[in-house]
Structure 1
Amino acid sequence: MSSSTKRRDAKEISAAILQTTEFLFTKYGVENVSMHQIAKAAKVGQGTMYRRYANKGDLCMDLMKEHFQSLQEETIQYLKDAKAISVKERIQVIFKRLLYYVEQHSRLFEAIQSYTTCEKTKKPFYDAPPYVFMHNTIRLLLEEAIETKVVRPINADFTAHTLLSSINPKMYIFLRQKNGYTAEEIIENFNKSLLEPLFY
């Protein structure tokens, strides 16, 4: 068997594991699915499974990366096309898209961040590439706002972390399910309470 065939097979196996994981998580909930169940349903051996994913936390993180890739690409393209739009509006658009992303993948997102449903992953959530990407994106936009003097005196790095932490999936789910806010109401209140006060 050629090395290219081996690589292709490895990709197919990983894809099968992720597809099976997402199906089982969606059907039964993240907390109710074991690594053994995933391996059995994906028709891969336990050894193969654990060579790719040390624990369920790694699986959760990989699934999040799969979903996040399209959001990241859309964000990069939007920022390229929206240079003439005010920095305030650009930040609002990015957070609106991020909030809808959390809405769509809230159960998986919550599992990764909470460390209670999934086992602890190799890297803390805040060191994960998706979070780092969003933080850097927001920080750079805030720095632009500071330079153009359209925002109040702030620490861009700290503020970016604070804004992102306010979209904690646990809080988002609480607001949606317990307090009855719609996704649109959460976005509206996020803008009014957190974003708009930063700008002159």
Structure 2
Amino acid sequence: MKEATQSASLKLSREEVNRRKIIQAARELFIQHGGIQDVNMHQIAKTAGVGQASLYRRYSEINDLSIDVVKEECQPLFDQMDQWLKAHAESQPLEQLYSVVEQFADFLEMKSPWLCHVSRSLTGHRPMQSPLYVWMRNCCQRLLEQAQKNNEIEEIDIAYTVEALMSALHNLDIHMIDQGFEKHRILQGIRRLYIDGLKVK
């Protein structure tokens, strides 16, 4: 029984080692190619130094793997923002919301363009269903609901307002790289529309 337990533990350990190798290899290739379009499972297995059978046992297709890459890459951001929100729980919800948007924009700028491209690609025609935007959507909705409860903002359609904000954030890299808008200009516009523009007059 003891040997079987040790064997199972070693097996799990090897699986975790392989998982980390696969995630790291995929991340490196996504950064190198600026997204997932020119990356395939064979390249990932070769870069990770694992057999394709091992890769396909865990991930049936590249989109499944991409979801885990995005989760791993974004988890430090989620942890950071959760800690920040707890530390600033007494601040007005709208000010918390703007600070979250600032941290989100800083993160995307640092990871742009590869993470934005991967996040768009992995969900096909529903790019804002990636782990990155699901977390942000839930956070923004919670803060706007609290702001409305506190009578800090006008009566608005919170669900649609959040989706409009997500659309603006979703194209952040395009606005910065392709259209030449500086980040502070984008953030000023977001503040004017989604923070100051919602406050009770």
- Pairwise TM-score range, normalised by the shorter structure: 0.7 to 0.9
Distance 1:173 1:83, change over 3 A: closer
Indicate conservation of the 8 Å contact 1:56/1:119, yes or no.
no
Indicate conservation of the 8 Å contact 1:82/1:90, yes or no.
yes
Indicate conservation of the 8 Å contact 1:60/1:108, yes or no.
no
User: Which residue of structure 2 aligns with residue 190 of structure 1?
Assistant: 190
Amino acid at match of 2:183: A
The alignment status of 1:88 with 2:90, answered yes or no, reads no
User: Which residue of structure 2 aligns with residue 131 of structure 1?
Assistant: 133
Share of identical aligned residues, percent?
A: 27
Q: What is the distance in 1 between the residues matched to 2:123 and 2:96?
A: 36
Q: CA deviation at 1:70?
A: 1.0
Cα deviation digits, residues 66-116 of structure 1 (max 9, x gap): 111111111111111112211111000001111122222332232332x3x
Question: Larger Cα Rg: Structure 1 or Structure 2?
Answer: 2
User: Which residue of structure 2 aligns with residue 6 of structure 1?
Assistant: 11
Q: CA deviation at 1:157?
A: 2.5
Q: What is the distance in 1 between the residues matched to 2:8 and 2:17?
A: 14
Residue 81 of structure 2: which of 75, 78, 84 is its match?
75
Residue 147 of structure 1: which of 130, 141, 149 is its match?
149
Unaligned 5+ residue runs, structure 1? none
Q: CA deviation at 1:192?
A: 1.7
Q: CA deviation at 1:13?
A: 0.1
Amino acid at match of 1:148: N
Q: CA deviation at 1:54?
A: 1.7
User: Which residue of structure 2 aligns with residue 161 of structure 1?
Assistant: 163
Indicate conservation of the 8 Å contact 1:20/1:42, yes or no.
yes
The alignment status of 1:112 with 2:119, answered yes or no, reads yes
Amino acid at match of 1:161: E
Distance 1:126 1:186, change over 3 A: closer
RMSD of aligned residue pairs (Cα, Å): 2.1
Q: What is the distance in 1 between the residues matched to 2:123 and 2:98?
A: 33
Q: What is the distance in 2 between the residues matched to 1:35 and 1:120?
A: 18
Q: CA deviation at 1:196?
A: 1.8
User: Which residue of structure 1 aligns with residue 173 of structure 2?
Assistant: 173
Amino acid at match of 2:18: I
Q: Aligned pairs, how many? A: 193
Q: CA deviation at 1:185?
A: 2.0
Amino acid at match of 2:191: N
Q: CA deviation at 1:175?
A: 1.3
User: Which residue of structure 2 aligns with residue 98 of structure 1?
Assistant: 104
The alignment status of 1:19 with 2:24, answered yes or no, reads yes
